[in-house]
Structure 1
Amino acid sequence: MLSNFTLRQLAYFVTAAEEGSTSKAAEVLHLNQSSMSSALTELESIIGVALFLRRRGKGLTLTPVGEELLPAARRTLRSASEFEWLSRTLQTEDRGTLNIGCFDTIAPAYLPRIMAAYRERFPGVQVKITESNQDGLINALEGGRIEMAITYSVGLPPTLETSLVADPLPHALLPAGHRLAREKSVALSQLSSEQFVMINNSPARELIIELFERQGLQPRILHHSSNFDHVRAMVHQGIGYTLISQIPGTTPPHWGDGVVPVPLKGEHPGHAIVIAVPKDSTLTRRARHFRTVAGEFRELTGGHVPGVPTRLRG
């Protein structure tokens, strides 16, 4: 339980003990003597012990309890000073720990490249990553456990504000030997009769189903998985196809040569990938730099970064 005394009162106590009188302590702290005396009396009342013996004409003498508490008071003031210094330092220097979150299925495609650029520029910052679904990231942001999250723009509450990281385009992910793998684009109707491997994370699952429904189609779902690498591996083995969003003409390097992304025909802009932060938060300097690096990364990729299923609007 926190006590009701203040750091200012502790500073008055230490100064009075060092000066030996309320008048000298008041002079050092630029107070009037009555204010100093009242503050010391109030501190003694709060903690329930006498800190000084007061003798007219002889100034202040520490009681035995006051003698014991004085070192602790000095340590507390020192710790408070260090806390204040550190809080200011972390706002102005590129060091310390940055806690961020990322939607779990898009983390492999987004974070490694952004992290590499960030660490090269700010090697003194340790980045800790929380991977979760949309609800988990929102709870972590609102609970202050992370400063920012890379996630879908869909389904975010109005208490969060966002900045754009990527606006990926929809592709069909096919086995390298698939009959349509060499096409420049493919219509969803050309694939709807084939086995589909569904990413089982919300909102990706609902948004993919919505895409099929808008075109009057229904996927033949063979398997559900919340692990995108598992989904990709099943496509690699020719078990089925899936839908992704990514930079046109590129694939993340960890995919290998066994799968091929082919753009979907038609206009299907997707929901953006964004960095979300609480509107009422004051970001640390290191967090602001991370957001800047992510924005620069978007510019380098022409506005499209490799991703996984996002909302695909017809």
Structure 2
Amino acid sequence: MKYTLKQLHYIDVAARHGSIARASQELNISPSSISAAIDVVEQDTNRALFERLPSKGITPTRYGLTFLGHARELLKANRTFEAALSDQTRRISGSIRMGCFTPAAPILLPIVARSIADNHPDITIEFSEGDAPQLYEKLLASEFDVAFAYQSIPPQPNIEFIRLFSAPPHIVLPSTHPLAKSTSLSVNDIYQEPMILLDLSQTRDYMFKLFTNEGLTPRIGYSSKSAEMVRSMVAAGLGYSIFNLKPLKKQQYMVGDIVRIPISNAYQSVEFGIMYRADTDVSSVDQVMIDTCLDLLRRGAFDGAVLHTATKI
């Protein structure tokens, strides 16, 4: 078997996108080059790596998933090797594949990316967003090197978690709401009103637990998988919502405005941090990412993402 790292990289990117066409756009090469890399492996092994689904792209076969697991380990080992060589000249270079919980991405990733660009210009970051279960799955499949997410309860096996901060939940109300000037609220105060739910699997379960622990059931008025859509609907006076993180700066909405109020009985605070696979070595590039986040934490760069007192931000 004589596969090049370039061919394995092409196959990995195609698998991540589920599409040869989208992979070719990311890699800036022709689709035929990616197809050729897949063909080389399939002809050599006499096994199919992917199922071709008309109009739906490609999806790995069972054998393909096994092959991808080994290929990704080899690709990461190569990145670690290249980073170790660059360490000899005291300037770390390489790439890191980073996943992030979708609602947190626009709040935290720009800060991290700016710091990396300023202090480690030879490091490139490949961002990808997803729901918590997707992040855990892709991290364990070696599709990500590290991920930003809330800590899973119970903790995921084979995943190391480095805590950055606690994120207690808070209630988001229209600025015109009768309770908008409150300094704190309980879910008992608002459960009978329509809730606009951020409809992501683990988030949904967490939000419902805030109510069921009090013997209550929320009344869902609307739901969306977009945090910004949820906030905009609250601003328009269509209901309330609950979040753990908030934008660092004041947001503008087409209709209305919002206020954020701490939950007085918020014992369901969650931990937010960095995750990586426990059974793989942390490369020097991965360590730069971890150290950068911890340094930003010490300098208070993430402080504005968590609500401590009632605010209009």
TM range (shorter): 0.5 to 0.7
Conserved in 1, the CA contact under 8 Å of 2:79 and 2:94? no
| Cα displacement string for residues 41-94 of structure 1 (whole angstroms, at most 9, x for unaligned residues) | xxxxxxxxxxxxxxxxxxxxxxxxxxxxxxxxxxxxxxxxx9997353255632
Measure, in 2, the Cα distance between the counterparts of 1:84 and 1:294: 20
Alpha-carbon offset, residue 268 of structure 1: 2.0
1:17 is matched with none
After TM superposition, the score normalised by the length of structure 1 is 0.65
1:129-168 maps to which residues of 2 (within 5 A)? 129-155=127-153, 156-168=155-167
SS of match in other structure, 2:96 = strand
Alpha-carbon offset, residue 157 of structure 1: 1.9
Residue 252 (structure 1) aligned to one of 248, 253, 261: 248
| Cα displacement string for residues 247-269 of structure 1 (whole angstroms, at most 9, x for unaligned residues) | 7xxx5226337221111112424
1:153-232 maps to which residues of 2 (within 5 A)? 153-155=151-153, 156-232=155-231
Measure, in 2, the Cα distance between the counterparts of 1:274 and 1:127: 18
Residue 99 (structure 2) aligned to one of 98, 101, 104: 101
Unaligned runs of 5+ in 1: 4-81, 309-314
SS of match in other structure, 1:272 = strand
Residues 128/272 of structure 1: CA separation in 2 closer, same or farther (3 Å cut): same
Give the RMSD, CA atoms, in angstroms.
2.7
Larger Rg: 1
Residue 122 (structure 1) aligned to one of 120, 123, 129: 120
| Cα displacement string for residues 226-271 of structure 1 (whole angstroms, at most 9, x for unaligned residues) | 1111111111111111001147xxx522633722111111242412
Conserved in 2, the CA contact under 8 Å of 1:169 and 1:304? no
Measure, in 2, the Cα distance between the counterparts of 1:293 and 1:254: 25
Measure, in 1, the Cα distance between the counterparts of 2:81 and 2:227: 44
Q: Which amino acid aligns with 1:121?
A: N
1:6 is matched with none
SS of match in other structure, 2:232 = helix
SS of match in other structure, 1:94 = coil
Alpha-carbon offset, residue 192 of structure 1: 1.2
Measure, in 2, the Cα distance between the counterparts of 1:207 and 1:90: 43
SS of match in other structure, 2:231 = helix
1:14-93 maps to which residues of 2 (within 5 A)? 86=82, 88-90=84-86, 93=91
After TM superposition, the score normalised by the length of structure 2 is 0.66
Conserved in 2, the CA contact under 8 Å of 1:244 and 1:307? no
| Cα displacement string for residues 122-167 of structure 1 (whole angstroms, at most 9, x for unaligned residues) | 2221111111112221222122221100011014422011101221
1:261 is matched with 260
2:291 is matched with 292
Residues 140/246 of structure 1: CA separation in 2 closer, same or farther (3 Å cut): closer
Alpha-carbon offset, residue 2 of structure 1: 3.8
Identity of aligned residues (%): 21
Conserved in 1, the CA contact under 8 Å of 2:83 and 2:94? no
1:47 is matched with none
SS of match in other structure, 1:167 = strand
SS of match in other structure, 1:105 = helix
1:236 is matched with 235
The answer to whether residue 300 in structure 2 is matched with residue 273 in structure 1 is: no
1:20 is matched with none
Question: Structure 1 residue runs of 4+, over 6 Å off?
Answer: 82-85
Alpha-carbon offset, residue 219 of structure 1: 1.0
Q: Which amino acid aligns with 2:190?
A: L
Alpha-carbon offset, residue 120 of structure 1: 2.2
Residues 259/139 of structure 1: CA separation in 2 closer, same or farther (3 Å cut): same
Conserved in 2, the CA contact under 8 Å of 1:168 and 1:304? no
1:61 is matched with none
SS of match in other structure, 2:270 = coil
Measure, in 1, the Cα distance between the counterparts of 2:79 and 2:139: 23
Measure, in 2, the Cα distance between the counterparts of 1:83 and 1:215: 49
Measure, in 2, the Cα distance between the counterparts of 1:176 and 1:116: 33
1:301 is matched with 300
Alpha-carbon offset, residue 117 of structure 1: 2.6
SS of match in other structure, 1:180 = coil
Measure, in 1, the Cα distance between the counterparts of 2:216 and 2:270: 21
Conserved in 2, the CA contact under 8 Å of 1:110 and 1:305? no
SS of match in other structure, 1:185 = coil
Measure, in 1, the Cα distance between the counterparts of 2:80 and 2:232: 51
Larger deviation, residues 117-126 vs 97-106: 117-126
How many residues end up aligned between the 2 structures? 227
SS of match in other structure, 2:117 = helix
